[in-house]
Chain A
Amino acid sequence: MKKKAISKAKWMQSIITFTCVLFVSVVGFQSTAMADETCMSPYMAKIVGQEDYVYVWTLGVEGMGDGQDKLVTLSVNPEADTYGKIVNVLSVGGRNEAHHSGLTDDRRYLFAGGLDSNKIFIFDVHTNPGKPTLHKVITDFVEKTGGMVGPHTMYALPGRIMVTALSNNVDHGGRTGMAEFTNEGDFIAAHWNPTDEDLRGAEKVGNAADGYGYDIRALPRRNVMITSSFTGWSNYMMDFGQMLGDAEAMKRFGNTVVVWDLHTRKPKKVFEVPGAPLEIRCAWGSNNNYCFTTTALTSKIWLIYEDEAGEWQAKDVGEIGDPSKVPLPVDISITADDKGLWVQTFLDGKTRFFDISDPFAPKQTYEHEIGSQVNMISQSWDGKRAYFTSSLLGSWDKTGEADEQYFKLFTWNGKKLSHEFTVDFYELKLGRAHQMRFGAYSLYSQKPNSSGVMLSQTK
């Protein structure tokens, strides 16, 4: 018995040592690796080198082409014969209000949500990265979650996907939560956002605890998960112009950021961040315990950070364009070295680069008009390539000639963007180009879960 106990202790010691080594390798990898977009989950496998494909989750347009949502695969490796071309189009049925998508931690599956239909389409992107297939469709998101509507961010956690929602099935307003699914798409648990009536143990720091939801990011090294807040179904599906003229509707936007305990999934602090804080982007540096978000309506940059006392705080640290003109900052992207932040402003079609070397004092150093409207950006890990798409929401995009729908690649030399190519999604009758995710053969060159390379990248 004694001998067995000693050997068990040694075994445990080995495990701990192994885990520590893995942890160090993770931190080291995150700060030095030359691959992948910069805004993914730290739990996710990384692409080594050049990405081969970009998957564009695309909204079908009534009366155009086959009129339904689709996953469009573009070839983006300059070495490929198909460079700059669409190599696959996979229609999924319906106009689901295709919006955001996210890869599983092992990067074998892409979860793509429909904000309207509440469907989540799970694509197999590993069997043939150049030709994704539809693996499964989650149709019962609302039923399983107990009433959440509008699956938004699909965020990789170990072996599972956290899905934030935007709305609910009772009043189609903004009160909502998030839900966990396995990588196979099986429901695990629902977590409702804190409200005044039930803060769920959280501290209401400011004046707001609205229960709204939008994006999610995690900082595993600080055991922290952060969520932001947008608006409910009635607003995100409504004609944008109509909504701007509807005084009641304009009161229904989120004004909160919530800091959660990552492990227990319990909310810890509810911060007041007025004007619809959308995307959350966390720094990668091992000592950079902060994340950025921008507010769509009030055009501010907010820093969510851990202070010297270990307390999380939220601070308004800068403005984007002229807030009085409501440029509508939408997607943002942090550079891998934590020194730069790309911010797109939808209404003027510009991307703006902010120097965030001092995260408390972002300074805009560059701007460039990408198109008549712009929303999403995905940049390579080395920051040299930046991909842009145009669509915000089916009913919010511009109308008439200003409704350009595109996928564009620019290169970035640290001072200016240079246009490489454009794919016109309307000319090809595809629809509205929204979120992008990268794919690469290098991810699957050896069997996943069986090689040291994959293991070191994922764990």
Chain B
Amino acid sequence: MTFSQRHIAYVINAVILFGVAGIVLTSENSHSSAETKTRVEESKHLYGPGDVKEGYDSPDYTTKTLDLQKRIGKEADLLQFVSNPPLGLPDVPVPEDNPVTKEKVSLGRKLFFDRRLSINDTFSCAICHIPEQGFTNNEIQTAVGVEGRSGKRNAPMIYNVAYLEIIFHDGRESTLEQQVWAPFLARNEMANPSIGYVINKIKAIPEYKGLFEQAFHGRGPTMETVGMALSAYQRTLNSADSPFDRWHFGKQEDAVSEQVKRGYELFNGKATCNACHLIHDDYALFTDNQLHNTGLGYLASMGVTTKTTRVQLAPGVYADLDNEVIKSVSRPKENDVGRYEVTQNPNDRWKFRTPTLRNVALTAPYMHDGSLHTLRQVMEFYNQGGVPNEVLSPLIKPLGLTDQEMDDVVAFMMSLTGSNVGTLVADAFAAPIGDISKDDPNWAHEKNIK
């Protein structure tokens, strides 16, 4: 699937999702056509980057840029997605010591969008996990952190993270409550110098006064309560009830096309995708919560570099740049050996976690390093059997899929967009973005800065 196709998919998803809303509006006959039009306009903002680049490879590219001032939020009852997860998901695992409450979710959401929680007040969780971009970043392959420091991996999407048994691409963390501190402290993410620095900053920002105490029975901001609040918010981001779910689990025969049904058969048959992206009898997480070596990481570490790189300069304009020129403006690229970096076990070289495929239409670019831009490219990668190496997963082998069959599997994956995506994204838009104000702590706010 091309980039263009992906954006068409966004639109299709939007139409499908809003179509449901439209039917409701019509049947209730309670909204004017003007209101309906407004809602359609608003829905455009929910399913992809507002800076639309569909067709950018053509010199005839025409912008369809959405306006940030029209990116309007609408708060939702997020707890419903915990107590009653959408069709296709199992019960949401919730730690006994951190039940999800309205107060915690609200506080966690506020923290998630607060750019002040970084060394220089510029970086929130949401800067890498952008709501309308599948809670990841569609606009760059690998993450960029504070001061432009390079991350070596693609920002993972966070829909359905409540179900993860291992967290991060290399699976090095086990609970969301613990996980949140890694980006806070990572030098190439939010770059806070210490846990205490973050806690003290939160305590000094007037907007947070009383919020922790309200959410945690009188407990203020601590390493534990910050992790609990952020986890509570993330545990609500459960998304399913996709066209696939309504067809497969809901037995709604016309919920998906015949091509999607063919893709489903291939997914579970000739393409063997389900060996890792599991579908159970009564739910589907599309992950085995395991790590595998597909060869993609091996290729990046061990592959031979080319002499030139094709670089796009403008719509339809390209140049083949000498790699020596590119090298002259490149900082050393960090190597990535995957799971091995956690276990030091040579058998774990270039293993990465199986991601869920739910909402995969919204989360390009793909793979742990964002190196594949479309689902069609992903299918071609697996169809060729990944990249052979001495520790390649035995599950990865040439598939022999035809072009049509690959298209069918892609169509199946495109049917995995949850019905509540719009609700979750609109709710995220309603969250206040925390930017530094004169009331917040900063040396420059002292009376005599000279």
Contacts and interface: CB of A to CB of B under 8 A. Distances in A.
A, B: real partners: yes
Interface of A: 93-97, 116-119, 133-134, 136-137, 139-140, 142-143, 147, 149, 168-175, 192, 195-198, 207-211, 234-242, 244-253, 255, 274-276, 295, 297-298, 323-326, 347, 394-400, 402
Given A97-B148, A237-B144, A248-B138, 11 more contacts: A140-B436, A170-B130, A173-B139, A192-B69, A198-B69, A207-B61, A236-B148, A239-B330, A244-B321, A246-B141, A251-B139
A252 B315 contact: no
B158 to A, nearest CB: 16
Contacts of B144: 234, 237-238
Find the residue from A134, A196, A239, A250 having the highest chain B CB count within 10 A. A239
A434 to B, nearest CB: 15
Contacts of A169: 115, 433, 435
B445 interface: yes
A251 B312 contact: yes
B365 interface: yes
Given A237-B147, A248-B139, A248-B141, A133 B63 contact: no
A325 to B, nearest CB: 7
A168 B127 CA distance: 10
Interface in B390-448: 433, 435-438, 442-445
Nearest to B144: A238
Nearest to B115: A169
Contacts of B211: none
B283 to A, nearest CB: 32
A239 B150 contact: yes
B160 interface: no
Contacts of A297: 313-314, 317
SS of B interface (majority): loop
B122 A396 contact: no
Contacts of B148: 97, 116, 236-239, 394-395
Contact of B68 (A133, A168, A239, A246): A168
B53 interface: yes
Contact of B319 (A118, A236, A245, A325): A325
B28 interface: no
B445 A139 contact: yes
Q: Which 9 A-B pairs have the closest CB atoms?
A: A241-B330, A237-B148, A274-B314, A137-B444, A240-B329, A197-B67, A297-B313, A275-B314, A195-B65
Contact of A137 (B115, B330, B449): B449
B79 to A, nearest CB: 25
A323 B133 CA distance: 33
A234 B370 CA distance: 15
Contacts of A208: 61-63
Given A143-B435, A170-B68, A234 B140 contact: yes
Nearest to B130: A171
Contacts of A94: 120
A238 B62 CA distance: 26
Interface in B186-224: none
A209 B138 CA distance: 20
B50 interface: yes
B312 A398 contact: no
8 contacts: A97-B147, A169-B433, A171-B139, A195-B68, A207-B62, A238-B148, A246-B140, A274-B317
B234 interface: no
A210 B64 CA distance: 8
A241 B69 CA distance: 33
Contact-size category for B: 35 or more
A184 B64 CA distance: 38
B60 interface: yes
A211 B450 contact: no
Nearest to B145: A237
B328 interface: yes
Contacts of B49: 171, 173
Interface in B332-365: 333, 365
A134 B449 contact: yes
Interface string B124-148: 0001001011000111111010011
B248 interface: no
B77 to A, nearest CB: 24
B435 A142 contact: yes
Nearest to B56: A251
A398 B65 CA distance: 33
A125 to B, nearest CB: 14
Most chain A CB neighbours (cut-off 10 Å) among B62, B69, B373, B437:
B69
B442 A139 contact: yes
B65 A399 contact: no
Contacts of B133: 171
Contacts of A250: 311-313
A250 B310 CA distance: 11
B449 A136 contact: yes
Contact of A142 (B67, B314, B436): B436
A245 B443 CA distance: 38
Contact of A147 (B64, B120, B433, B445): B433
Contacts of B321: 244, 326
B317 A298 contact: yes
Interface in B86-142: 115, 120-122, 127, 130, 132-133, 137-142
B444 A139 contact: yes
Contacts of B142: 242, 246
A158 B57 CA distance: 43
Contact of B373 (A118, A247, A398): A247
A210 B63 contact: yes
A174 B62 contact: no
Contacts of A175: 50-51, 65, 67-68
B153 interface: no
Nearest to B442: A139
A250 B373 CA distance: 13
B307 interface: no
Nearest to B438: A140
Contacts of B122: 116-118, 149
Given A169-B433, A248-B138, A249-B141, A399 B330 contact: yes
B313 A275 contact: yes
Contact of A242 (B51, B61, B120, B330): B330
B37 interface: no
B251 interface: no
A147 B434 CA distance: 10
A325 B115 CA distance: 39
Contacts of A249: 139-141
Contacts of A207: 60-63, 315
A174 B68 CA distance: 11
B21 interface: no
A397 B331 CA distance: 10
A395 B149 CA distance: 8
B262 interface: no
Contacts of B450: 133-134
B313 A298 contact: yes
Contact of A196 (B60, B64, B69, B325): B64
A325 B71 CA distance: 39
A399 B442 CA distance: 33
A381 B370 CA distance: 50
Interface string B289-325: 0000000000000000000010111110101010001
